[in-house]
Structure 1
Amino acid sequence: MTDSAEFQLRTPTVTDGQAMWQMAVDSATLDVNSPYAYLLWCRDFAPTSVIAEVNGVAAGFVTGYRRPDQSETLMIWQVAVNTAHRGAGLAGRMLDHLAAALLTDGVTHVETSITPDNDASRRLFAAFARRWDTALACSELFGAELFPDSHLAENLFRIGPLRVEEAR
Protein backbone atom coordinates (compact mmCIF):
# COMPACT_ATOMS: atom_id res chain seq x y z
CA MET A 1 0.00 0.00 0.00
CA THR A 2 1.21 3.49 -0.86
CA ASP A 3 -0.40 6.11 1.35
CA SER A 4 2.13 8.90 0.97
CA ALA A 5 2.53 8.89 -2.83
CA GLU A 6 2.07 12.11 -4.76
CA PHE A 7 -0.50 11.29 -7.43
CA GLN A 8 -0.83 13.37 -10.58
CA LEU A 9 -4.33 13.17 -12.06
CA ARG A 10 -4.68 14.00 -15.74
CA THR A 11 -6.54 13.26 -18.94
CA PRO A 12 -5.27 10.07 -20.61
CA THR A 13 -3.64 10.05 -24.04
CA VAL A 14 -3.28 7.16 -26.48
CA THR A 15 0.18 6.48 -25.07
CA ASP A 16 -1.60 5.44 -21.82
CA GLY A 17 -3.67 2.75 -23.50
CA GLN A 18 -1.15 -0.04 -22.98
CA ALA A 19 -0.71 0.72 -19.28
CA MET A 20 -4.47 0.90 -18.80
CA TRP A 21 -4.94 -2.48 -20.49
CA GLN A 22 -2.22 -3.97 -18.27
CA MET A 23 -3.85 -2.57 -15.11
CA ALA A 24 -7.17 -4.11 -16.18
CA VAL A 25 -5.45 -7.47 -16.72
CA ASP A 26 -3.58 -7.24 -13.40
CA SER A 27 -6.77 -6.34 -11.51
CA ALA A 28 -8.02 -9.93 -11.93
CA THR A 29 -11.56 -8.58 -11.45
CA LEU A 30 -12.30 -6.27 -14.39
CA ASP A 31 -13.73 -7.47 -17.67
CA VAL A 32 -10.62 -6.95 -19.82
CA ASN A 33 -11.19 -5.30 -23.17
CA SER A 34 -8.82 -5.68 -26.11
CA PRO A 35 -5.69 -3.50 -26.10
CA TYR A 36 -7.17 -1.76 -29.15
CA ALA A 37 -10.25 -0.79 -27.13
CA TYR A 38 -8.10 1.01 -24.54
CA LEU A 39 -6.32 2.92 -27.29
CA LEU A 40 -9.66 3.98 -28.76
CA TRP A 41 -10.93 4.89 -25.31
CA CYS A 42 -7.93 7.15 -24.75
CA ARG A 43 -8.54 8.80 -28.11
CA ASP A 44 -12.33 9.12 -28.16
CA PHE A 45 -13.31 9.33 -24.48
CA ALA A 46 -10.26 10.98 -22.92
CA PRO A 47 -12.21 14.04 -21.69
CA THR A 48 -14.46 11.77 -19.61
CA SER A 49 -11.65 9.65 -18.21
CA VAL A 50 -8.69 10.15 -15.88
CA ILE A 51 -5.35 8.50 -15.26
CA ALA A 52 -3.26 8.75 -12.10
CA GLU A 53 0.52 8.68 -12.12
CA VAL A 54 3.24 8.44 -9.53
CA ASN A 55 6.67 9.55 -10.75
CA GLY A 56 5.49 9.23 -14.35
CA VAL A 57 4.21 5.65 -13.92
CA ALA A 58 0.51 4.82 -14.27
CA ALA A 59 -1.03 4.02 -10.89
CA GLY A 60 -4.74 3.93 -11.71
CA PHE A 61 -7.42 4.98 -14.13
CA VAL A 62 -11.12 5.67 -14.50
CA THR A 63 -12.83 5.37 -17.88
CA GLY A 64 -16.19 6.93 -18.51
CA TYR A 65 -18.41 8.44 -21.18
CA ARG A 66 -21.39 10.74 -21.37
CA ARG A 67 -24.56 8.86 -22.20
CA PRO A 68 -25.67 9.78 -25.73
CA ASP A 69 -29.33 10.03 -24.68
CA GLN A 70 -28.56 11.76 -21.35
CA SER A 71 -25.55 14.02 -21.78
CA GLU A 72 -25.82 15.15 -18.16
CA THR A 73 -24.97 11.61 -17.06
CA LEU A 74 -21.40 10.32 -16.81
CA MET A 75 -21.31 6.53 -17.11
CA ILE A 76 -18.24 5.10 -15.40
CA TRP A 77 -17.02 2.07 -17.32
CA GLN A 78 -13.96 0.91 -15.37
CA VAL A 79 -11.97 1.87 -12.28
CA ALA A 80 -8.57 0.32 -11.70
CA VAL A 81 -5.79 0.95 -9.20
CA ASN A 82 -2.43 -0.83 -9.24
CA THR A 83 -1.97 -3.19 -6.32
CA ALA A 84 0.87 -1.06 -4.89
CA HIS A 85 -1.48 1.93 -4.54
CA ARG A 86 -4.64 0.27 -3.24
CA GLY A 87 -5.90 1.43 0.11
CA ALA A 88 -4.67 4.99 -0.39
CA GLY A 89 -8.05 6.38 -1.52
CA LEU A 90 -6.87 6.81 -5.10
CA ALA A 91 -10.03 5.44 -6.73
CA GLY A 92 -12.15 7.94 -4.83
CA ARG A 93 -9.79 10.80 -5.63
CA MET A 94 -9.95 9.96 -9.35
CA LEU A 95 -13.77 9.84 -9.27
CA ASP A 96 -13.98 13.15 -7.40
CA HIS A 97 -11.50 14.75 -9.82
CA LEU A 98 -13.42 13.60 -12.87
CA ALA A 99 -16.86 14.55 -11.51
CA ALA A 100 -15.65 18.01 -10.45
CA ALA A 101 -14.09 18.62 -13.87
CA LEU A 102 -17.27 17.62 -15.71
CA LEU A 103 -19.67 19.35 -13.34
CA THR A 104 -18.91 22.69 -14.98
CA ASP A 105 -19.75 21.12 -18.36
CA GLY A 106 -23.26 20.06 -17.34
CA VAL A 107 -22.76 16.64 -15.76
CA THR A 108 -25.21 16.24 -12.87
CA HIS A 109 -25.30 12.46 -12.40
CA VAL A 110 -22.85 9.57 -12.30
CA GLU A 111 -23.81 6.02 -13.21
CA THR A 112 -21.93 2.75 -13.07
CA SER A 113 -22.80 -0.92 -13.18
CA ILE A 114 -21.60 -3.33 -10.52
CA THR A 115 -22.06 -7.07 -10.11
CA PRO A 116 -23.67 -8.21 -6.84
CA ASP A 117 -20.41 -9.80 -5.63
CA ASN A 118 -18.21 -6.71 -6.09
CA ASP A 119 -18.21 -5.30 -2.56
CA ALA A 120 -15.21 -3.04 -3.15
CA SER A 121 -16.93 -1.18 -6.01
CA ARG A 122 -20.16 -0.94 -4.05
CA ARG A 123 -18.27 0.67 -1.15
CA LEU A 124 -16.39 3.00 -3.54
CA PHE A 125 -19.54 4.41 -5.13
CA ALA A 126 -21.48 4.56 -1.85
CA ALA A 127 -18.62 6.60 -0.38
CA PHE A 128 -18.61 8.84 -3.48
CA ALA A 129 -22.34 9.57 -2.97
CA ARG A 130 -21.71 10.36 0.72
CA ARG A 131 -18.79 12.70 -0.07
CA TRP A 132 -20.97 14.54 -2.59
CA ASP A 133 -23.94 14.52 -0.16
CA THR A 134 -26.32 13.18 -2.79
CA ALA A 135 -28.62 10.25 -3.48
CA LEU A 136 -27.61 6.80 -4.67
CA ALA A 137 -30.23 4.59 -6.32
CA CYS A 138 -29.60 0.96 -7.23
CA SER A 139 -31.58 -1.10 -9.73
CA GLU A 140 -30.99 -4.01 -12.07
CA LEU A 141 -29.44 -2.93 -15.37
CA PHE A 142 -28.78 -6.26 -17.09
CA GLY A 143 -29.96 -9.60 -15.75
CA ALA A 144 -27.57 -12.55 -15.84
CA GLU A 145 -29.76 -14.20 -18.48
CA LEU A 146 -28.76 -11.52 -21.00
CA PHE A 147 -25.10 -12.58 -20.96
CA PRO A 148 -23.94 -15.43 -23.20
CA ASP A 149 -21.56 -16.73 -20.51
CA SER A 150 -21.66 -17.10 -16.73
CA HIS A 151 -21.51 -13.33 -16.14
CA LEU A 152 -23.43 -12.16 -13.09
CA ALA A 153 -26.18 -9.58 -13.32
CA GLU A 154 -25.10 -5.95 -13.50
CA ASN A 155 -26.77 -3.52 -11.10
CA LEU A 156 -27.03 0.13 -12.06
CA PHE A 157 -25.87 2.63 -9.45
CA ARG A 158 -27.17 6.14 -10.23
CA ILE A 159 -25.74 8.95 -8.12
CA GLY A 160 -26.90 12.53 -8.12
CA PRO A 161 -27.72 15.22 -8.56
CA LEU A 162 -24.21 16.58 -8.20
CA ARG A 163 -24.06 20.25 -7.29
CA VAL A 164 -21.36 22.87 -7.69
CA GLU A 165 -21.35 23.71 -3.99
CA GLU A 166 -20.59 20.06 -3.22
CA ALA A 167 -17.68 19.83 -5.69
CA ARG A 168 -14.60 18.37 -4.12
Structure 2
Amino acid sequence: MVAEIEDAIVGAISGYLIPERPDTVFVWQVAVGSAARGQGLALRMLDHIVDRPVCRDVRFMETTITEDNAASWGLFRKFAEARGAELTHDVGFDRDAHFGGQHDTEMRVRIGPFASSGG
Protein backbone atom coordinates (compact mmCIF):
# COMPACT_ATOMS: atom_id res chain seq x y z
CA MET A 1 0.00 0.00 0.00
CA VAL A 2 1.08 3.57 -0.65
CA ALA A 3 0.20 6.76 1.24
CA GLU A 4 0.22 10.11 -0.55
CA ILE A 5 -0.03 13.75 0.44
CA GLU A 6 -0.63 16.22 -2.40
CA ASP A 7 0.37 13.63 -5.02
CA ALA A 8 3.67 12.87 -3.26
CA ILE A 9 4.34 9.40 -1.87
CA VAL A 10 5.03 9.75 1.86
CA GLY A 11 4.68 6.15 3.02
CA ALA A 12 4.48 2.56 1.86
CA ILE A 13 4.06 -0.93 3.26
CA SER A 14 4.78 -4.14 1.39
CA GLY A 15 3.44 -7.46 2.56
CA TYR A 16 1.39 -10.48 1.59
CA LEU A 17 -1.13 -13.01 2.83
CA ILE A 18 0.70 -16.21 3.71
CA PRO A 19 -0.73 -18.79 1.25
CA GLU A 20 -0.70 -21.74 3.64
CA ARG A 21 -2.05 -19.58 6.50
CA PRO A 22 -4.70 -17.23 5.04
CA ASP A 23 -5.47 -15.87 8.52
CA THR A 24 -2.00 -14.26 8.61
CA VAL A 25 -0.61 -11.22 6.81
CA PHE A 26 3.19 -10.86 6.67
CA VAL A 27 4.52 -7.30 6.65
CA TRP A 28 7.77 -7.20 4.72
CA GLN A 29 8.66 -3.50 4.83
CA VAL A 30 7.32 -0.28 6.36
CA ALA A 31 8.60 3.07 5.08
CA VAL A 32 7.54 6.59 6.01
CA GLY A 33 9.19 9.68 4.53
CA SER A 34 10.75 12.18 6.91
CA ALA A 35 8.08 14.81 6.18
CA ALA A 36 5.34 12.43 7.40
CA ARG A 37 7.05 10.89 10.44
CA GLY A 38 5.62 11.32 13.91
CA GLN A 39 2.03 11.62 12.67
CA GLY A 40 0.89 8.02 13.15
CA LEU A 41 0.94 7.28 9.43
CA ALA A 42 2.57 3.84 9.72
CA LEU A 43 -0.02 2.71 12.28
CA ARG A 44 -2.87 3.98 10.11
CA MET A 45 -1.43 2.11 7.11
CA LEU A 46 -1.24 -1.15 9.10
CA ASP A 47 -4.86 -0.65 10.20
CA HIS A 48 -5.92 0.04 6.62
CA ILE A 49 -4.27 -3.16 5.40
CA VAL A 50 -5.95 -5.50 7.86
CA ASP A 51 -9.31 -3.71 7.56
CA ARG A 52 -9.47 -4.27 3.78
CA PRO A 53 -12.07 -6.78 2.53
CA VAL A 54 -9.34 -9.07 1.16
CA CYS A 55 -8.05 -9.41 4.74
CA ARG A 56 -11.44 -10.14 6.34
CA ASP A 57 -10.18 -13.54 7.59
CA VAL A 58 -6.86 -12.18 8.89
CA ARG A 59 -6.44 -12.53 12.65
CA PHE A 60 -2.63 -12.44 12.85
CA MET A 61 0.21 -10.26 11.58
CA GLU A 62 3.83 -11.34 11.30
CA THR A 63 6.99 -9.42 10.54
CA THR A 64 10.70 -9.49 11.33
CA ILE A 65 12.53 -6.79 13.30
CA THR A 66 16.15 -6.43 14.39
CA GLU A 67 16.54 -6.11 18.14
CA ASP A 68 17.82 -2.52 17.96
CA ASN A 69 15.03 -1.11 15.73
CA ALA A 70 13.16 0.84 18.41
CA ALA A 71 10.86 2.56 15.93
CA SER A 72 9.59 -0.73 14.47
CA TRP A 73 9.17 -2.31 17.91
CA GLY A 74 7.17 0.73 18.99
CA LEU A 75 4.98 0.64 15.89
CA PHE A 76 4.12 -3.04 16.14
CA ARG A 77 3.56 -2.85 19.91
CA LYS A 78 1.12 0.03 19.36
CA PHE A 79 -0.63 -1.97 16.65
CA ALA A 80 -0.94 -5.01 18.94
CA GLU A 81 -2.31 -2.86 21.75
CA ALA A 82 -4.85 -1.18 19.46
CA ARG A 83 -6.04 -4.61 18.29
CA GLY A 84 -6.20 -6.06 21.80
CA ALA A 85 -3.69 -8.69 20.68
CA GLU A 86 -0.64 -10.37 22.11
CA LEU A 87 2.79 -9.69 20.58
CA THR A 88 5.23 -12.59 20.75
CA HIS A 89 8.69 -12.96 19.23
CA ASP A 90 11.52 -15.40 18.78
CA VAL A 91 14.61 -15.65 16.59
CA GLY A 92 13.58 -15.75 12.95
CA PHE A 93 16.88 -15.36 11.14
CA ASP A 94 20.07 -15.73 13.15
CA ARG A 95 23.02 -13.43 12.45
CA ASP A 96 25.46 -16.32 12.06
CA ALA A 97 23.27 -19.19 10.86
CA HIS A 98 21.41 -17.19 8.20
CA PHE A 99 23.50 -14.12 7.47
CA GLY A 100 27.09 -15.32 7.91
CA GLY A 101 27.60 -12.65 10.57
CA GLN A 102 26.93 -9.89 8.01
CA HIS A 103 23.49 -8.75 9.25
CA ASP A 104 21.88 -8.43 12.66
CA THR A 105 19.58 -11.20 13.86
CA GLU A 106 15.99 -10.69 12.75
CA MET A 107 13.35 -11.45 15.37
CA ARG A 108 10.18 -13.09 14.07
CA VAL A 109 7.24 -11.13 15.52
CA ARG A 110 3.67 -12.45 15.66
CA ILE A 111 0.68 -10.36 16.69
CA GLY A 112 -2.72 -11.87 17.35
CA PRO A 113 -5.32 -13.02 17.43
CA PHE A 114 -6.91 -9.61 16.88
CA ALA A 115 -9.69 -8.81 19.34
CA SER A 116 -11.00 -5.83 17.38
CA SER A 117 -10.40 -3.46 14.53
CA GLY A 118 -7.91 -0.75 15.35
CA GLY A 119 -9.58 2.15 13.61
Check whether TM > 0.5: yes
1:69 to 20, 25, 29: 20
Alignment match, 1:118: 69
Instruction: Give the CA RMSD over aligned residues.
Output: 1.3
The 2-side partners of 1:153 and 1:167 are apart by 29
The 1-side partners of 2:114 and 2:12 are apart by 21
Give how far 1:76 is off: 0.2
Gap regions ≥5 residues in structure 1: 1-49
Rg (Cα) greater in structure: 1
Higher strand fraction: Structure 1 or Structure 2? 2
Relative CO higher for 1 or 2, CA cutoff 8 Å, sep ≥ 6? 2
Q: Percent identity?
A: 38
Mapped contact 1:76–1:110 kept (Cα < 8 A): yes
Equivalent residue letter for 2:68: D
TM-score by length of 1: 0.66
Equivalent residue letter for 1:63: S
Gap regions ≥5 residues in structure 2: none
Higher helix fraction: Structure 1 or Structure 2? 1
Equivalent residue letter for 2:113: P
Alignment match, 1:128: 79
Aligned residues: 117
Give how far 1:156 is off: 0.9
1:160 aligns to 2:85 (yes or no): no
TM-score by length of 2: 0.92
The 2-side partners of 1:103 and 1:77 are apart by 16
Equivalent residue letter for 2:103: H
Alignment match, 1:150: 102
Give how far 1:149 is off: 5.2
